[in-house]
Structure formats: structure tokens, C-alpha cells
Structure 1
């Protein structure tokens, strides 16, 4: 019995024996079949043109004929030339005839199929919009959420390792103070806005890091503030309206204008009490964190500068703030008080809009003149020369800081911006104020001497230059400090197009600051002397 496959092979052999054949598509049902008929072109040896239609794909509708809209263009295989007896198609066909059954089988595609062969695709059903899919709703913003949570986790972990208190909104500590928001964070701790649940008043809670050194500083601050309040006969009554000052954050330029207007008006009345430091209301321990409760105040002088976009404030406002700060320093310098603040800067002076005054905060670095515990004190921009050189210091270092701070409040930028290190800071000072006196340099220990200075020709001291500077970048000490200071202040004001001040008042201000920035502490202007300077005496 001859099988069907053997019959197919015989038919294929017969077709190959007759080379004058070509393909033509006939239809069988809904599929294309191929019949073999002689071709004149093939008989003459001419190349067979490549004609592509849907039979090329093995599918041809009954009513179709010739090329259709999605047929492959002839240019795709134009480089191929058909030879007699070779079918011009990317695939060969196996044709089986069944005359007894009255039909032929469709062509069978070879294994070497066309790269253009595609399977018919079923039409996609109408689907929901992607955003409406449950999977989209469950995963939308998933990476953003993860990144936020991840960032917060590592930030909180870093703060916990540093000893900071982990803050939770509306958490009640000491069974009394409900934490509302964190107002700021520094090297020693954090400050929170809170509600005293005993009287429903706003307070500021300073939570110190759970580190031994920070706790010791906080206890020193508590001791000094308590002594000053007792000496100043201040009674703390948290129910008094005097202390009910709304705490707020920076509210922008318009708020600043109203605040400064109130301060200018209240200062003319001269009726506010000179309360030099923020009121201490309570102290306690919470989870190894020393906590200090203060009266709520408003914004710091630095935040005031931020609100002015670092353009500075008027000379009139500088005079008001300077007078109050000098009164505070004069009190601290009294022999029976004798306290050095050690960190005077705009961030540590807060405005009290109710009384039109300012108050000193952050006595964490403060000390008695007779009980100096630290050598690394003062923020760098406001650090006095004697502290940088490792020499003994006194209340005079606060006057140096105040001089730097007053210029910054007026011009909007630091006077000595030593951004890199203490050598950079000393270079900025020398360029403006000249070299320190030789007798001052001789008192400095050798290692500190070599950090800041070097001997020129074995005859005089010179400021040490930073490595890698060219000739145009070398630090040249000023030979006329008064003129250099005046030019620096004028240059800063001119670059910001500040309104012109009275030249006489401007010169008085520069003269007062110059006396505050004298190198020798014993020759530096004292607070009680500064209050009688012409900068104030002409305005009562």
C-alpha cells in the first residue's frame, strides 16, 4: 500500500521534472492553494517577476485577487531573480493532488519561513483606561511613596544616632506639653512649638540631644538663666498675658514690614522693659533628653534678614537693635554678673514684637568669666581673634561678635565670611583690619603661630598664604583699617542699591563698629562706653 506521503513525493518529483511551471493561487474554501501550470515566461527562460499578495502569507480570502493594501512591496525582494524551475517565493510548497477526491491540499510551508510571516492577531477587546485598572490604583506612585518613606527612615535614623529626639506630631511629653511642630534644629538639640495643656498657652520647648556634653551645656544654660532671672527679680507667671506672645514662623516680606513698623513705634515710646534674655518657664528630663521650656517669641534677626532677601535693614533699625543688645551686654558684663554669652550672632537674637525689643537666646555656650570651660566657642563668622589664636578671652569677645553682627544687619552679608577654615577667617580679618600687633602674636603658642603667621626675613610677621594662590590672590594686609572698613560697608550697600543714609550717621556707625573690632581686648570698646557713642547720643 502506497501511503499518502509517498504519493506526494512522487507528485513533487514529477513537478520538478517539468521545470516550465509557475505558481498561481487558486482558492479552496477560505485558504489559498497552489496549482502548477506552464508559464510562457518560464518556458522562454525569462526571470519570473515577484508578485506578492496575501497568498504569500498562506491566507487568501475567497474574493481577493492580486495585490492588497498590506502586501509586501516588490522592493523588499527586488534584488532576487527567479530562475527557471525555481519558485520566486521565500518558501517552497508541497502540493498534493487528490483527483479521486476532487481537490488538492493547500501548500505546506517549509521550515525556512519568511521573516515577514506574521500570525493573524485577534482584535483586542475594549479595555478600561490604565488609570482605572485596580492594579494601577494600587501601584500608582508606589516608587515615589517608597522613596519618601525610605528617605524619612534614614533621616530619622541619622538623627537618632546623633542623639536627637524623634518627634511625633501631637505627642505629649512630661504629661503636659503637646508638641505641634519643629521650629528648628541645631548642633545641641531641637526647638519645638508646643501647647501647655495646663493653661492652653503656646510655649517653646528646647530638647537637648541625649549626649553627655550637650546635657552638661544645657544644665549650665539653666543655671545661668535661673541666676539672671533671680537677680533681675523676674517672676514667671505662665498665665500672665505678658507672656502670651503668639509664636509664628516667617510670614514673608509684608509681615516683616508690619513687624518693623511696630518696633519703630514702640521704641519711640521707651516704655518697654529691658528684658535681656528669654524667659525660662520650666525644665525637666524626658527619655534622657534635657528639656527647657521658654516663652514663645517671634523670629530671629537672621530670619529677618531672610525676609529682606539679604538686602539689610535701615540704619535707624540697626540703631534700635544695637542699643538694646548693648544694654544686654552691659548687664552681662557687670562685675556681679560677669557672664560671657560666647555665641552672639543673628540666629541667637529674637524679636519681641509686643515690646518692640530683642532678646538673647541660647546660653548653651555661655560661661562665667571666672569659670571658662571651653576653648572652641563662637560661630566662625563672629569669632574673635583671641579665641582663634588660643589666647585668654573675656566679655570683650561678645563685643567683637556684636560689631560683626551689626554690619551684617546693615549690609545683609557677613563682614568676615571665612568659609573654609580659621586661616581663611584670619585672612579676611587681616585684609580689612591689618595685621594683629606683634605683642599679641608673640603670646600665641608656636603651633597656632605657624597656623596663621610666618616670619618674613626674620624681621616681621606676615599672614600665612593659602597654598596654590597666584600673585593676584595673595592676602595683603590693610594699612588703613578705618578706610578699608568704610569702603567695605559702602561697597556692600552700593551693590544692593540700598537707599542712601545720612552720611554723618553712616560715618558714626562705621566709627563705632571700628572701635568694636579692635584687636586688643583691653582696648576694645566696652558695652557701657558704646551706649554713649555719638551714634546713639544724638538720638536720645
Structure 2
């Protein structure tokens, strides 16, 4: 079947009828969810129904006027999560946690910032209704590889609270979606994108080593670790819909509809290459500051893909006014995007090939973001304790990353428990000094009685 192109007038008609299409689609199944089910995460994204206009680079588009967000608590079906409130104490397997505040919520649960009592450690606890055993098993599978080296979130603890499952993870800064929204969707520089791209490709390579597929890569699930101390250090989060490569079935519906790979739309055989497509789309959004096609329905997305690859070229992303060296770097980035966004999965670039792409191996010097110092591109990395050991994990470029200090050796598990007990006892003594005085007085009486017995 031959795809039919869409002219400008057709696009105007589509935009005029957008509200009618949305109303009609509410009664249909969306992304495999039955009518009336809670909305999926992609409902918070905009719906830019615009053609690829000639003479207007994608980087000139903006999502600022088109972005609509669902406020916490506005999604249906989440009222039962109000049973867990701020100030609640949650008893975990590895500690006791106090809920300080809620960071956000989605269709599957809420995320709260919690403090581990007796320590200064702060974690993020995902509170899910039900067992969530599948996600817990996948997170345990992730523990087989180094989360810091592979830029993957680490699980700290998991336990049950009434009818909820609580998954404690390391606390990170903010998602790339929130970061882009705060800067009014201003595109990132190529150097900044290079740092993020390298880390995420390393993450995909780590997942591939344990035969896992994330299945939901999007701006919301890529988190900045600490933008102040470690600019553009990122980690991949949310493995709630992840799966083993061997368990992926043909025709299975997965991924956010905006970032969904063509083979998922078309019901073709699936494997780990769906993640590479989603990551390529994320990088394109970071570079342009907008989504490159609409997302009202699968039909609109497939039609936009056909138009994009039939009537539009990636070369439009390369400005003409750049210097020769800068233009060369942008050309390499656009070439990487082309290979990540290949319609045919068999022709799509793999993580290992992507890490050897010239975009990362260019040997020229470039400035580090936030400073005037220069470091070799694609060479500098965050120094870690295991850096001297042989490893198969590729090193990150430090286009915008700062070098971290060598961490101290962490105490053993038993020592950590002893320290936690001492801290807890010290806190109790401070809160109730009278009780400690009584205890000391009782011990003194016992000592004097023992001395008298020895004398007689």
C-alpha cells in the first residue's frame, strides 16, 4: 500500500478537527487501556499537530504555548493513595523511613521523599498499590551490574505497607522533562546533548548485557542526578514496564505513544532496538525543543513518520551559518540521529556501534560547561574507585561534567547497622535526658551493690 502525502491544506484541516478527534478517541481503547482507565504518562505531553514547514528549522518551534500538564491528584483512580500522607512512618526491611513530602504521582503510584531515621540518608520511595513483584524482580536483576557505571537507578529497599508495595530508591534531582519545562523548552547545546547521549547509550548497553529492555524511555524517565554539583549527570529510572528480551511478543503494545518505535505501531517482531528508537527521539527533542510529530493517535504518528522520511531530510537540522568545526560536530550528531531513528530495526544502530560513532570519538578540545577549562572530548569521565580495574563499561565524555573525587571505602553492612543503632540511641538520649540520668543512676547503684557483696 502506497502512503499518500499530506499537503499544507490537509494539515490545516487536521488542526481544525483536532478537538473533535480527541472527543471521539475518548471512547476507544488507548494504548491498550480499557475505556475509563487512568490515563498513561504520555497524557501530560503536548500535541503539536504541525507540518514540517519548508524554510522553518525544527529548532525554531516551541512547546511552551502547547504544553498542558496534569496537576498532582488530578488523575482519576488515585484517591486510594491518600492513605499514605506526609509524616507517616514506614517500616522497611533495611530501616525506618519518614515521609517528608510527595514528589509526584502517575497512573501506577506516587513517589515520596523520605528520610531514613537514625541517619542523614534521604531516599525516594515509590508507593504502588498491589504487589509490583515484576518491577521488584527486574530491579533485583539490575543489581547484577553497577548502577553508577551504567547510569541506572539503584534500589535501596523494598517492603510492604498495608496493601501497598514500597520501593525505596536513591533520590535524584529532576527529570529532563521538568528541566526542559523550567527553561521554556529552550534546546540544549550539542555538547550537553553529547554528555546525555553517551550516558544513556551506556545504560542501554548495560541493559543489553543482562537481556533487559526498558520499554518506556522518555524525558520523564531520564533523571538528572544533581544538576548543581554534577551538571548533566543522568540516570535511567522507572522499570515498571521493562521486560526480558525473550519475553517480548510480536504485537505487544508498549512504550509511550510519542516515543514508540515503528515496529511497535505496526505489530512487528520486537527486541531491544525499540529502546534505541526512543532514545533517538529523546535526543531529537532535546536538540529541537519540540516533538517532531503529533501524537493524537497511532494513525497520525505513522502518517507523520511517512511524511517525515518521504518529504523531509535530517539535513534540515544543520544550520548553514555555523563555523566549519562546529558544523562538523552537528553533522556527526545528525548522522547519529539518522542511524538511531532508522525505520527498519535491522538497520538501526546498536549501543556498541553508537559508542564508537564519530560523534563521540572526535578528538578536538571543547570547553566544559560552567567553566573556562578545556578537556578532551569523549575522554574525561567521573573518576570512581573502580576506575583502576579492568571493565567493559565505556567511559563517558566530559563535555559538561565535572570530575568527582575518589569516594571513601564504604563500611560493611554489619558496621552500618551498628552505626544506625548508635545514632538512634544517641537521638533518644538527647530527646529524653532524664531517662538517661535515671539509667546512669541505676547502673551506679548496681555497681556499688556488687562492690559490697565482694567485700563481705
What's the TM-score bracket when you normalise by the shorter of the two chains? Answer: 0.5 to 0.7
Unaligned runs of 5+ in 2: 1-70, 363-376, 379-456
Partner of 2:278: 401
Q: 1:365-514 to 2 correspondence within 5 Å?
A: 365-372=241-248, 375-418=252-295, 420-434=296-310, 478=311, 484-487=313-316, 489=317, 502-514=326-338
Judge conservation of contact 2:150–2:206 (CA < 8 Å) in 1: no
- Taking the aligned partners of 2:240 and 2:322, their CA distance within structure 1 comes to 36
C-alpha distance after superposition, 1:12-71 (max 9, x if no partner): xxxxxxxxxxxxxxxxxxxxxxxxxxxxxxxxxxxxxxxxxxxxxxxxxxxxxxxxxxxx
- Taking the aligned partners of 2:168 and 2:98, their CA distance within structure 1 comes to 12
Partner of 1:199: 119
Are residue 188 (structure 1) and residue 101 (structure 2) matched?
no
- Residue 415 of structure 1 aligns to a residue in which SS? coil
Query: Rg bigger for which structure?
Result: 1
- Taking the aligned partners of 1:189 and 1:533, their CA distance within structure 2 comes to 39
Judge conservation of contact 2:212–2:243 (CA < 8 Å) in 1: yes
C-alpha distance after superposition, 1:247-296 (max 9, x if no partner): xxxxxxxxxxxxxxxxxxxxxxxxxx524211100001112111100111
Distance 1:293 1:404, change over 3 A: same
Q: 1:235-274 to 2 correspondence within 5 Å?
A: 274=149
Judge conservation of contact 2:124–2:168 (CA < 8 Å) in 1: yes
Are residue 520 (structure 1) and residue 397 (structure 2) matched?
no
- Residue 294 of structure 1 aligns to a residue in which SS? strand
Distance 1:378 1:155, change over 3 A: closer
Partner of 2:88: 171
C-alpha distance after superposition, 1:58-101 (max 9, x if no partner): xxxxxxxxxxxxxxxxxxxxxxxxxxxxxxxxxxxxxxxxxxxx
Aligned pairs, number: 286
Judge conservation of contact 1:345–1:402 (CA < 8 Å) in 2: yes
How far does residue 173 in structure 1 lie from its aligned partner after superposition?
2.1
How far does residue 358 in structure 1 lie from its aligned partner after superposition?
1.1
Q: 1:350 aligns with which of 203, 223, 226?
A: 223
Judge conservation of contact 1:350–1:358 (CA < 8 Å) in 2: yes
- Taking the aligned partners of 1:200 and 1:511, their CA distance within structure 2 comes to 46
Distance 1:307 1:157, change over 3 A: closer
C-alpha distance after superposition, 1:406-441 (max 9, x if no partner): 0111111112332x111111111111123xxxxxxx
- Taking the aligned partners of 1:317 and 1:499, their CA distance within structure 2 comes to 18
How far does residue 504 in structure 1 lie from its aligned partner after superposition?
1.4
How far does residue 164 in structure 1 lie from its aligned partner after superposition?
3.2
TM-score of the two chains, using structure 2 as the length reference: 0.58
Structure 1 runs of 4+ aligned residues shifted over 6 Å read 154-157, 497-501
How far does residue 232 in structure 1 lie from its aligned partner after superposition?
2.0
Judge conservation of contact 1:516–1:524 (CA < 8 Å) in 2: yes
Say which structure, 1 or 2, has more relative contact order (CA 8 Å, 6+ apart). 2
Q: 1:534 aligns with which of 358, 370, 394?
A: 358
- Residue 397 of structure 1 aligns to a residue in which SS? helix
- Comparing 291-300 with 274-283, greater Cα deviation is found at 274-283
How far does residue 332 in structure 1 lie from its aligned partner after superposition?
1.3
C-alpha distance after superposition, 1:122-169 (max 9, x if no partner): xxxxxxxxxxxxxxxxxxxxxxxxxxxxxx9x9699523xx5343422
- Taking the aligned partners of 2:205 and 2:167, their CA distance within structure 1 comes to 26
Judge conservation of contact 2:75–2:107 (CA < 8 Å) in 1: no
How far does residue 170 in structure 1 lie from its aligned partner after superposition?
0.9
Q: 1:272-287 to 2 correspondence within 5 Å?
A: 274-287=149-162
Q: 1:362 aligns with which of 238, 243, 251?
A: 238
Q: 1:78-117 to 2 correspondence within 5 Å?
A: none
Unaligned runs of 5+ in 1: 1-151, 235-272, 435-477
How far does residue 534 in structure 1 lie from its aligned partner after superposition?
1.1
Distance 1:486 1:367, change over 3 A: same
RMSD over aligned Cα atoms: 2.8
Judge conservation of contact 1:165–1:207 (CA < 8 Å) in 2: no
TM-score of the two chains, using structure 1 as the length reference: 0.50
- Residue 171 of structure 2 aligns to a residue in which SS? coil
Partner of 1:296: 171
- Taking the aligned partners of 1:499 and 1:347, their CA distance within structure 2 comes to 34
Judge conservation of contact 1:179–1:194 (CA < 8 Å) in 2: yes
- Residue 333 of structure 1 aligns to a residue in which SS? helix
Partner of 1:91: none
Distance 1:396 1:195, change over 3 A: same
- Taking the aligned partners of 2:330 and 2:117, their CA distance within structure 1 comes to 49
Judge conservation of contact 1:284–1:292 (CA < 8 Å) in 2: yes
How far does residue 302 in structure 1 lie from its aligned partner after superposition?
1.1
